[in-house]
Amino acid sequence: MLWKKPLTELVSLIQKGEVHPKEVIESFYERFNQTERSIQAYITPLYEKALEKAKDIKPSKDAKLPGIPVAVKDNILTEGERTTCASRMLENFIAPYDATAVSRLKGEGALVVGKTNLDEFAMGSSTEYSAFFPTKNPWDTQRVPGGSSGGSAASVAVLSAPVALGSDTGGSIRQPASFCGVIGIKPTYGRVSRYGLVAFASSLDQIGVFGRRTEDVALVLEVISGKDEMDSTSADEPVPRWSEEIKKEPKGLSVGVPKEFSEFELQPEVREAFEEFLRELEKEGITVREVSLPHIKYAIPAYYIIAPSEASSNLARYDGVRYGYRTKEYRDIWEMYAKTRDEGFGQEVKRRIMLGTFALSAGYYDAYYLKAQKVRRLIYEDFMKAFKEVDVIATPTTPTLPFRFGEKTKNPVDMYLSDILTVPVNLAGLPALSMPIAWKNGLPVGGQLIGRPWDETSILKLSYLWEQKFKHYEKIPLT
């Protein structure tokens, strides 16, 4: 069963000529067929096409991901394939080019095996806001997989793909990684090109990776990172060989735990798992101490002004004129705009557009948007101050275990608060990773590791150290 093997082992087997890429794709395709009906992780499966391409691959020792299957969140463009953003607005949109992250993966031999489900335009924390269908949590199909990258997290959890790309604007990689019991990393803002990622909130969005093992995540992140001329916000920072760096002993690493998080409402199971995790780190010789992030309590209100404001601006292009959905009947252009947007967008997207339009409107810009940006700066400075005392900051990833379908859709604020521990990281543009630290009542609990700007190495090292001890990757749902 090749689908059970780690990605790095598959690469080695293919490079040595012991296994052909076609066999790898066939094995994961078989697993996809076993699991997809009950999980519904994919909007557009592409296994048949991947299988055709795999037949012609000649194994190369130079390619880092020869014939490796990768799932891609459906707000990241893949040339010649549908990219829907899980919205009626883009239901039949065919991407004219590859996102830089996708072209870099293909350049190293990877094969895209499907476009995964998400909350519409990446706005949500449960994948219930997909215009097509909700994805199920592989550990309990009555519960949500998290969001917005729920399809990517679930596909990796059930191993219908060994790794997947997601995007993270306020926790959209880390929260579903936590709910699905896998690793999810959001790199530093600017580490990975956003070219070809459908924009939600441009100053917060970042593409990242899901995997079951730290080494697999590190290798894929190496491939997609680095400066891109097509994205002015991508940084010209050297890309470390994370897949090798992580195996070095994380000697002398210190971990800070923000005292303010103890004031947040955490489910008892989550609190208990996190405290046990900290005790285990100390046994491994990691220093754990308290730090302070005094402005962290303002993160959610600041985020829900900044993100919808940028979304309101970014989503103005969906007007029925050039591409995407257009209403059937209208008397003039104004009615066409109004009806197209009303029929094409779902409830949550409309809510955020209206929030953002209000915050940016004359007379309110200074009171809301400008003030939120000032709070954002204070949150960044809090982190920088804390990083003078410690190397990594640790928190639970989510305040609760995966919740049931319908539990939070009636009250939007309840849903927004499930990102309370992840949002501050995006506001500060920092790298952060979620990894499984426990299973409670049969459901996974994630721990979040936050690093200094450009220091993905420390959080990946710590994740690798934990993985050797906890071996969370041995647990596979639906087997």
Question: Mind listing the pLDDT tens digit for each residue in 414-425?
Answer: 999 999 999 999
Task: Name the percent of the chain lying above pLDDT 90.
Answer: 93
**pLDDT interval class at 209 (50, 70, 90):** very high
> Among 48-52, 60-64, 109-113, which is the least confidently predicted range?
60-64
Structure tokens at 462: 């710590």
Pairing type for strands 392-396 and 432-440 reads unpaired
Residue 336, exposed/middle/buried by CB under 10 A (0-12, 13-18, 19+)?
Answer: middle
Three-state SS at 343: helix
Q: Which residues are tagged catalytic? A: 73, 148, 172
Q: Which long-range contacts (CB under 8 A, 24 or more apart) does 248-253 make?
A: 248/461, 250/286, 250/458, 250/461, 250/462, 250/465, 251/285, 252/287, 253/286, 253/287, 253/391, 253/392, 253/458, 253/461, 253/462
Closest by CA position to 180, among listed 479, 467, 473, 450: 473
Asked whether the predicted pLDDT for residue 407 surpasses 90, the reply is: yes
Q: What is the mean pLDDT of residues 208-235?
A: 98
**pLDDT interval class at 15 (50, 70, 90):** very high
Q: What is the pLDDT of residue 253?
A: 93
User: For residue range 189-199, what is the model confidence (pLDDT) as tens digits?
Assistant: 999 999 999 99
Measured at the CA of 291, the angle between CA 290 and CA 297, to 5 degrees, comes to 120
The single-letter code of the amino acid at 293 is L
CB 209 within 8 A of CB 184: yes
Report d(CA 299, CA 142) in Å as an integer: 30
**pLDDT interval class at 445 (50, 70, 90):** very high
For residues 147, 151, 152 and 154, what is the CA-based torsion angle, rounded to 10 degrees? 100
Q: What is the pLDDT of residue 56?
A: 87
Closest by CA position to 85, among listed 315, 304, 305, 308: 315
Whole-angstrom CA distances from 327 to 82, 340, 343 are 20, 5, 7
Q: What is the mean pLDDT of residues 131-141?
A: 98
> Among 85-89, 326-330, 364-368, which is the least confidently predicted range?
364-368
Q: What is the pLDDT of residue 62?
A: 87
Looking at the DSSP assignment, which residues form a beta bridge with residue 443?
A: 440
Q: What is the pLDDT of residue 54?
A: 95
Asked whether the predicted pLDDT for residue 262 surpasses 90, the reply is: no
Report d(CA 200, CA 123) in Å as an integer: 8
Q: Tokens 């969001």 correspond to what residue?
A: 147
Asked whether the predicted pLDDT for residue 447 surpasses 80, the reply is: yes
CA–centroid distance for 284 within its chain: 29
The DSSP code for 329 is: -
Asked whether the predicted pLDDT for residue 159 surpasses 90, the reply is: yes
The answer regarding whether domain 2-255+389-474 maps to CATH 3.40.50.10790 reads: no
Structure tokens at 405: 């379908």
Q: What is the mean pLDDT of residues 268-274?
A: 97
> Among 263-267, 394-398, 399-403, which is the least confidently predicted range?
263-267
Q: What is the pLDDT of residue 363?
A: 87
Closest by CA position to 160, among listed 172, 148, 151, 147: 151
Asked whether the predicted pLDDT for residue 60 surpasses 80, the reply is: no
Q: What is the pLDDT of residue 57?
A: 86
Q: What is the pLDDT of residue 264?
A: 87
Q: What is the pLDDT of residue 251?
A: 80
Q: What is the pLDDT of residue 323?
A: 85
Q: What is the pLDDT of residue 261?
A: 83
Asked whether the predicted pLDDT for residue 236 surpasses 80, the reply is: yes
Asked whether the predicted pLDDT for residue 59 surpasses 80, the reply is: no
- Taking the domains of the chain in order of start, what are their residue ranges? 2-255+389-474, 297-373
Burial state string for 388-410 with b = 16 or more CB within 10 A and e = fewer than 16: eebbbbbbbbbbbbbbebebbbe
Asked whether the predicted pLDDT for residue 129 surpasses 80, the reply is: yes
Give me the chain's average pLDDT, please: 96
Q: What is the pLDDT of residue 461?
A: 97
Q: Is the dihedral of CA 374, 375, 380, 385 positive or negative?
A: positive
Report d(CA 202, CA 309) in Å as an integer: 10
**pLDDT interval class at 121 (50, 70, 90):** very high
CB 319 within 8 A of CB 340: yes
Asked whether the predicted pLDDT for residue 58 surpasses 90, the reply is: no
